[in-house]
Chain A
């Protein structure tokens, strides 16, 4: 469950019987950006908090059940500033989680991947069917992620299927690219495939502290190898504070990465991350995301129930409709609020 800065127990009280006042008393003590957990048994508590979050803009970032059967709602104090750096709108990018196992154990992995995680793969035939549907439905790019996609023995074939339909980006930790797995890259079209490699810091210390000893060197080697092969490489850094993000961006610029190939972003408090920016589903523009367990609102919450909008993967058209329906529901509150007032 998401780590909280403060926790209150409302027992069997909901907003009509005192829980709102208890919440406000705790909320006043909470710093901006902090997380308050509200734990209780009242049947209407979850609904009250969901409505409250939509009205006030403070994000309801997780709803979970405790081992004792209580509901635990985590609320982040403050609104998330809108992300104006990403030009893609909903429906332009199709995200596919190829698998969930990974050769690294990053301590802030948003989908809890590690060498011990079950593979949970979408098979190649399903991926091929889905990406074939994508251009007709208006998608402009495919993004493959995991887990570490290059752990799949058939990653070369999967990538070939994807680039045949749409320009494709594969997200990787880069550590396997210089080894035998990198052979998958030999014959793919350079103008249809981008490699997005995770590299957090200019020097090994910061990167390796979160991702494991030696991983920085191997990622750097992977980047070098991919560039040698003629691929466009985008570097993605995940950092908790703005100052280190600025430093990394400057360093990448010095390494010859163009602005569009430098993605420096904050840590999302999801999955294994105990720090970072807590995010509610409605605060993110949805991007259709598929895993073997179903359809999700956005890739950052692809292992979380509150981001799941469909519990199976059928056709891509069905997946798009499910995300669009969930998006409409999220926007209903602000539309209703605007309609409340009839005046002159």
Chain B
């Protein structure tokens, strides 16, 4: 196999450690020569995939769907984590507050995460719309675009959502299920002090995305190599835990339909503007 160019977004310093580990595993144990390239944002990584500057990208759900949409389906999915299946988002409010059902959101202020976060903004706005609640008409939003370009990966916007609900700037807010469970599991919040008003339908999260024209044999070999990582091997386990999974899976493409529709409606598939730099 010729050297694969794999992209990932460095949303946190730990990404370097994780990808040194995965790159070394692929090269030394799975005979998959590779070079990992780190990007500072998903828009930059998506451009690199579409222009064929990298072969595979470790993408958020939105970045995967943008690659798919802008390549006319030529960018295909090749692998995901077990933990990317079955995500949900929760609308949460202080226990005892007036917001107890979705109907109570009328006239309320709802905190949302970064505008390009599938879990904390795009899908919640879409799902609430499906329940007859439109942003700006039925409820006011308080948006925290703290990690724009990172598609919500840093989690900082969800922290801001939680803070806004906890100190009364918002009546309710939307956070993802992993974030919510992490808060209570780590003892940062007593679950009974808040109420989950509503939980979204399930959706899927990250996906390895191939460049247009990536040979099927290469994509399949890469997916098979990834799935060779074993949680019961200490060296692999450290990497898998850092990346938040127990097992790599073949791509399950069916959990993205809602986000595909939501992203289209909210303008995330509009062609990115090309900025030209004027001559001096």
Contacts and interface: CB of A to CB of B under 8 A. Distances in A.
B183 interface: yes
A340 B186 contact: yes
Interface of A: 14-18, 20-21, 24-25, 27-28, 44, 47-48, 51-52, 54-58, 333, 336-344
B95 A21 contact: yes
Interface in B1-41: 8-9, 11
Given A52-B166, A55-B163, A341 B190 contact: no
A24 B190 CA distance: 17
Contacts of B194: 20
Contact of B152 (A14, A27, A55, A343): A343
B280 to A, nearest CB: 37
Contacts of B183: 340
B186 A344 contact: no
Contacts of A333: 188
The secondary structure that dominates the A interface is: helix
A344 B159 CA distance: 17
Contacts, number: 97
B272 to A, nearest CB: 20
Nearest to A22: B96
B88 to A, nearest CB: 15
Given A28-B168, A336-B187, 6 more contacts: A15-B94, A20-B94, A44-B190, A57-B163, A341-B154, A344-B205
Contacts of B189: 51, 55
A337 B190 contact: no
Contact of B188 (A14, A48, A51, A58): A51
Nearest to B98: A21
B273 interface: no
Nearest to A77: B167
Contact of A24 (B94, B187, B188): B94
A27 B153 CA distance: 31
B190 A51 contact: yes
Nearest to B183: A340
A344 B19 CA distance: 11
23 contacts: A15-B190, A21-B96, A27-B168, A28-B168, A47-B190, A48-B190, A51-B188, A51-B189, A55-B163, A55-B189, A56-B167, A336-B187, A337-B159, A337-B188, A340-B186, A341-B154, A341-B182, A342-B243, A343-B152, A343-B178, A344-B11, A344-B153, A344-B205
A28 B162 CA distance: 16
Interface of B: 8-9, 11, 58-60, 83, 94-97, 151-155, 158-159, 162-163, 166-168, 178-179, 182-183, 186-190, 192-194, 205-206, 243-244
Nearest to B185: A340
Contact of B11 (A24, A54, A58, A343): A343
Contacts of A337: 159, 188
Given A17-B96, A341-B178, A55 B188 contact: yes
B188 A20 contact: no
B96 A18 contact: yes
Nearest to B188: A336
Nearest to A27: B168
Contacts of A54: 188
A48 B163 contact: no
A56 B244 contact: no
Nearest to A54: B188
A57 B164 CA distance: 11
Contacts of A18: 95-96
B178 A342 contact: yes
A16 B153 contact: no
A264 to B, nearest CB: 31
A16 B95 contact: yes
Contact of A58 (B94, B153, B155, B167): B167
Given A21-B97, A340-B179, A344-B11, A16 B163 contact: no
B167 A16 contact: no
A15 B189 CA distance: 10
Nearest to A25: B168
A23 B154 CA distance: 30
A341 B194 CA distance: 19
B188 A344 contact: no
A17 B167 CA distance: 17
Given A18-B96, A51-B189, A337-B159, A24 B167 contact: yes
A245 B91 CA distance: 46
A44 B190 CA distance: 10
Given A341-B154, A343-B11, A343-B60, A48 B193 contact: yes
A14 B193 CA distance: 8
B244 A342 contact: yes
Closest 10 pairs (CB-CB, A-B): A342-B244, A341-B155, A340-B182, A15-B193, A24-B168, A16-B192, A18-B96, A343-B153, A336-B186, A20-B94
